[in-house]
Amino acid sequence: MASRIKRLYAPLLAFALTSVAFCTAWALRGSFPFGNTGRAINDQANQYVPFHRALWDLVHGQAAGDALFTWRGAFGQQFLSDYHTYLGNPFSWLVTLVPRNHVDLVVFTVSPLTMGLAAAVMAVYLGRLVPGPWWQRGVLGAAYGLCGWALSDASYIPMWLWGLVALPLLGIAVEWCLEERRWPGVALLVALAWLGNFYTGMMATMAACVLLAVRLVTLDMTGRQRLRALFRAATAAATGILLTLPLLLPAFLSSGAAQPTRAAEFDPQRLDVFLTGMLPATHLWGGRPRLYIASLGLILALAFLMNSAIAKKTRLVWGLAVVLVAASFQFPPTQYVWHGLAVPNGNPYREAFVFSGLLVILAWLSLANRPRPLHLAIATGIMVAATFLLRNTDDFSVETWYAVLGGGALSLLALLLLRAGEHRRLLIPVAAVLMAGVVFAESALSAFNADEKRVRERWAKPAVTSSKSIAAHFDAVRSVDGWPAYRTDSGQPQTSYNDALALQAEGPQYYSSYLPETTFRALEPLGYGYKNDGRTFFGADNPVLDAVFSIGARVAPVPGKKNAWAGRTFPAPPLVTVRGAAFTSPAPAGSVWAHQEDVLGSAVYQVPRTTRTDAGTTRTYTATCRPGTEAYWYSPALKGTLTAAGTALHLEDRLTGVVGLGPVPANGTVEATVRTRSDADAPEYPIGCLDRSALDKAVRTLTATGATEVKAGGHTIEAVLPAGSTGTAVFAMTDVPGWQCSAPRKEFHGLVALDLSSGAEKVSCTFTPKGFLPGLVASALALLALIAVTVVARRRARTGAPAE
């Protein structure tokens, strides 16, 4: 028992050093929960917190949908791929244990927990490579968990951080393959790596291939033993990946069907910038590599190449592997391989943790073989000299000097004391405390520096994810909930781009890498605002669109009251309506007003000709409409300030959808002024005047002829129609891949529509993600293989038969 407990010392030390150092940086900056400064950065606020709230809803029975599908986003979208991509980190499930209004706090704690676990697993893996003192493995494990990639790139991306855990997990799996044991365990570790996050799990798997290759070359093995190890690794890896196929295959197919983005081609950084990214406490701007580990680890890794206690072949192979891995980050073809043959939409060095992990392995191999003081001094000198030579690199900061000179000097002192401790044992505890302290302090400084620099970038301004206003917004949405009789729109985004998920609404707001191209093609022509090349959709406060998508309630801020929101309800057709003969709008073809009328099935707009006059950067658009109608504006390409009827609106190109200009005055003149420096212009017909009485009549007709009862299950929808219904049943949801319905589907402006020529009185549709069923079959076969191998191995163990 004592021996088992002692085995926990290294991982516990690594976990504690890592998580506490990271949280210390939060406390120093006064970030939530240690202060009032917002913690959520970029997609953490817009995606990860809302998706974790959706997970909470799912577990607590409050989700409009299930694990396969959600009705709370872009009028109904797949959820399984989003789960696999954004919620795969096992620590994400901790959000289900707290009240819903504290989900964001748990999302933030997922980062230090995952980084701490990664450090702990690395400490265990290092001991499997070469045995050595537990505290030394714990300190170097923390140096890995606090590497530059974790602090600068992934600290606010909880699912990516699982790759940091996956690398040492797969390193342990490699050792089992070399030892020719625990084949089922290897397969399960591979599955665990890919289930947590397939993106960084794939990168960790590639790193494991590097580790396997190096170990096969450096270990004293026969050719037959090497082939057996390769076979075990290949078959176990394939089995493990197949186990994840019910999630992996739908995600892959969803990615292929998603709205395309314009990702930039990979442009390697200059050599000086790339090398600067290896210096401790460095945070370079933008899409640059963050490859560093603490100065203690870097000194030891450099000393590894000079350590004569290690065989020359071993030093050569490991050193060459590290250099080749670094070079592969700069070479476009191999860089694409690291990213699964895709161009990253953002920082292209997302695999940087692999390099940091290899540096930590070199550091441990060096430390375990007691490097000479001269070699340590030379390594420290190389680090200082490199820092001096790279000091003029763009974005080089003084924090790097603090880490290199201060952290480097203390690291060297600790290593020298450790060497002296071979003769004076009392010096070893001093060296241990100093090594742990310098990694802790330097990493806390690095994390603080990364946060300080990152928030200066416009995209990384930290957002508040819980407040009185957000709570009031949520309460207002729930107060007018009527799903599935009608949808509730939470209004323009106030909390995140995924307000529908975050606030339990059913509006168009949705932000996901998997938003289908079919959804974009259905919603964009109708006048909804969007960004991220169409993978993010916003709402549009427009009553015609409300009627089309069965929105019967809307929430908005209360004018003049702080943190106050109010909801209102209004008549809306059911989710399933019945249309007769095809309708063609009389509005100008191609205009947003014509598209809306085509989908609604009624003429409700007067679309006048518009004249434009310019005065410097100010453009005035004038049109004439019937007094009493309501004027609306749409100009997706314009950016600037729109003023009409004394009200100013900010236009963001593509983000701003159809907006209201107010009632048409008695003289019938509609005038809109836009102040812009953009060369873009409004469309030919930017103004449409809505006849509210015509719309009310259309809503009454759709309600009278539409479904008398609608049931929306987790991933199903069923509607009872009036007796004798003929024509086309139109569902207020986009025709995303995966719908299977009770009648033949037909094209209807991108929405799900069924042919009712037979006069059916009930229609239904079921959503199954593409690839889900084949993935289940493949996973079941892999599970059977895993069970079979386990049973056979146990029987052989009982009978004493050889394993092979």
Tens of pLDDT, residue by residue over 197-251, are 999 999 999 999 999 999 999 999 999 999 999 999 999 999 999 999 999 999 9
Cα–Cα dist 436/420, whole Å? 18
For 429-445, what is the mean pLDDT? 96
Report whether 495 contacts 712 (CB < 8 A): no
pLDDT greater than 70 at residue 742: yes
DSSP state of 404: I
Residue with token string 């928030």 = 455
Q: Which of 224, 8, 27, 31 is nearest to 124 (CA)?
A: 8
pLDDT greater than 80 at residue 450: yes
Cα–Cα dist 504/473, whole Å? 10
CA 515 vs. chain centroid, Å, equals 13
Confidence bin at 804 (pLDDT 50/70/90): very low
Report whether 510 contacts 73 (CB < 8 A): yes
Q: Which of 127, 242, 237 is nearest to 184 (CA)?
A: 237
Rg of the chain taking only CA atoms, in angstroms: 30
| Domains assigned to the chain | 2-39+88-258+269-456 (no CATH), 469-579 (no CATH), 605-690 (2.60.40), 701-767 (no CATH)
pLDDT greater than 90 at residue 591: yes
In 525-564, where do the E strands start and end?
530-531, 536-537, 551-557
Predicted structure pTM score: 0.94
pLDDT of 690: 97
Report whether 441 contacts 449 (CB < 8 A): no
**Tens of pLDDT along 13-69?**
999 999 999 999 999 988 888 888 888 888 999 999 999 999 999 999 999 999 999
Report whether 506 contacts 483 (CB < 8 A): yes
Report whether 211 contacts 219 (CB < 8 A): no
For 432-459, what is the mean pLDDT? 90
* Terminal Cα-to-Cα distance of the chain (whole angstroms): 32
Q: Which amino acid is at 646?
A: G
- Name the β-bridge partners of 306: none
